[in-house]
Structure 1
Amino acid sequence: MKKIFFLLFFLIPIISYSQENNDISIGKTYKTYSKILGEERSYFIYLPKSASDRIYSKQKYPVIYVLDGEEHFQGLAAMMENMGSLRIFQESIIVAIPNVDRIRDFTPTHITSGIFLDSVSAKSSGGGEKFTLFLQNELIPEIESKYPTAPYRMLIGHSLGGLFVINTLLKHTELFNSYISIDPALWYDNSKLSKEAENILSDNKFKNKTLFISVANGFKKKLDTAEVRKTITPFNDAVLAMDRLKSALQRNSNKNLLWKIKYYELEGHNTAPFISEYDGLHYIFRDYNFLSVDNYDLFSTSVNDKTILDSLKSGYKQISNSMGYEILPSEQIINNLGYAFLRSNKFESAYHFFEMNEINYPHSFNVYDALGDYHSAKGRKEEAKKNYIKALSILDYPPTVDKLKALK
């Protein structure tokens, strides 16, 4: 499918949201009844714009599950929309889960009180395992039955949600492929989870798992950890919890878990989430970055088409390896490269890109519409007709009907 503003695709991505009744819409709210939790739960869904595009082949998307959904959904969805259009992050579905009782749902054990949790607040604590079962047996199957999901899931949580993320990684490792834990509340239950981490991380079960942890140090007193270790108090134990987890990760760094901890000296506990999500996604989708619109050489018709194709094949192979499933070169990227070379009258080069799409996406309307344009530009009317007819057998698209009539 020819894009009139195809050059903008390479240089200036246009960001927009679907509009209904003149209102900007970034997602939708749904409800589901959980038998496990014994209550109705709502969730917010963000779908990439390409999910509703009929021109190209249907895609499948990684799914990002976000805790504290009422706080983090809109910012994360806007970030994903923007960074996806710039081809920095892989386009993904976002499922954000707003809270009912976050202390109950995010804590793995029951306590009567704690260093930062009084007895009233702690009364409902310890429902983390039930909430995990809700995700595993109810919400995730519902999402995967309704939406075009790829075999890749990510979990993001902040504070107690970050504690839940670490607990899920350690004790329900296979539930997600990657984890972003934002300033996690590792102090909970006398730092029990960070103490358990050493033995759990020694197990060789973390192959192809990725973990990003952020630590917000802004507004915190600078403490001498060596001095803190001399006296055992609940507060000192809490101060050392992150160091303890970091040491466990370092000692078991050969066990296939890919991890990174980033410290934010200028961010507080409540200002850390947005920048942590960006950095965490950048880390997890790092192999996707070669497709950035700023990588001009990859999208220039002055570069040999074989060089570009080899770069794309190699890059997507690396993406597939890091994500754990096969991801084909983007039909839209390849299509736009084909048209770029076609407009430069480099017909053989253009055909190499259109041919790649035909091999990878044999059921796409766009593939045959583009091949029709290619053969038409070459003066091969019969070949052009044949491809337009095949495109129209997939999708009745008026502009293609007009092109076919013009040839006849």
Structure 2
Amino acid sequence: MDVKVFQFNGCEKCFNESLLLKEVAKFKVEHISDPKNWKGEKVDVSVITGYLLPGDLEHLQNIKNNSSKVIAYGDCTATGGVFALANQKGHDVTPLVNLIEDSISVHGCLGEIEELELAIEGNGFPKLKSLCQVCSRKATCDYLESINRQIELEDSETCFNDLGFLCSGFTATECKERCVDYNTPCRGCKPSVDRSGIRMMAMFGTLAGNIEVATEHNTNGATDKLADEDDDLTDSLPDIVGNFFRFTLPTSGLPKGRIPSSGTLLEDVFIGRLIEEVPLIAGLLGGAKSISLTMKFIETYEKANQIEVSEQTKKYREGLLQLEKELQDAIDKEDASVYKEVTDKIRAIAGNMNLSNIFFGGFKSQINEGDNFDDYKTHIFEVVEGTYKNGSVEYSIDSEGIIKEIKISEGL
């Protein structure tokens, strides 16, 4: 079967993952990194990766006209993904389904290669359990006493949401990356329902029923309306879009933002995000450079604010940076077997290819059984207003830990 994989815009992580298709004997796979210059030829299956813009329509139509089947592989193509957070700043990242008809979507960030194989072969996807069903943490759905942006990693049994620590597992299906296994709450890369962000807001809002919300009296006799004042609820959730709609903003029903762009589309993804969410976002969109990009965000903040980093943490980080070089070499050579070997090693330290285990001050879960986890266990850190720079990355946060300015000079 003739399979062509086309990379449009973004980090190339799913494009790189599709190298594993080369290990399937019945597939004849070709990777095309410049689809705009593809002349067109008949193909059995075309796989689209990367985020899409309306200007890509002509090239997508060319691919569709020459293909028996078209598959959107990964969230960026299927729902807009993390890059679509830039739509808050007026960009127009658009899911494939809104640009061409009759495409198949493989959700996930990272898209799962096993599901892509099923889609190519024309086999249906297996029925997946909800993430909550496979999570080791258990929920009570009791009302919350507080909402927390960070927690200490002492309780490994209680649902994150019961701890006031937002997790979108209620509206997500089980996935290969399983961020929750590494003490990282789900942000919903594989939604189980339509408009999952809206539904998760409703669920979490119910749990937060006892949290103070500022209201003002309605003179017409209707229910009181929200007031334009700070309160415990809004103070605790300063980035609704980034946390509830991280992967699905274009499909959420929310209007496109009208805030002027502050730079490139990549930089606009980060504006308005919370400092404690930055490592995972960088891990999502950095492609083959995710590790070094994430480290630049983390290490400059640690150094400026004297966050202690153990020798064991440094060793694991150095190991990851070396693996990143090996990963790039495997990608350059299109060596699927070495790619798999290297990514397995990255997962063993970083948790998954989204780097969910990496955080400020250390790691969120134990890496090797023989380790003393306390040697590199991360803890709640203080939010400090300021400007932080490390090589190609410079960013400023306010007193609430919200990114206000950012410059990323390195191409991804």
Structure 1 and Structure 2 fold alike (TM over 0.5) = no
* TM-score (norm. length: structure 2): 0.26
Question: Relative to total residues, which structure has the larger helix share, 1 or 2?
Answer: 1
* TM-score (norm. length: structure 1): 0.26
Which structure: larger Rg? 1
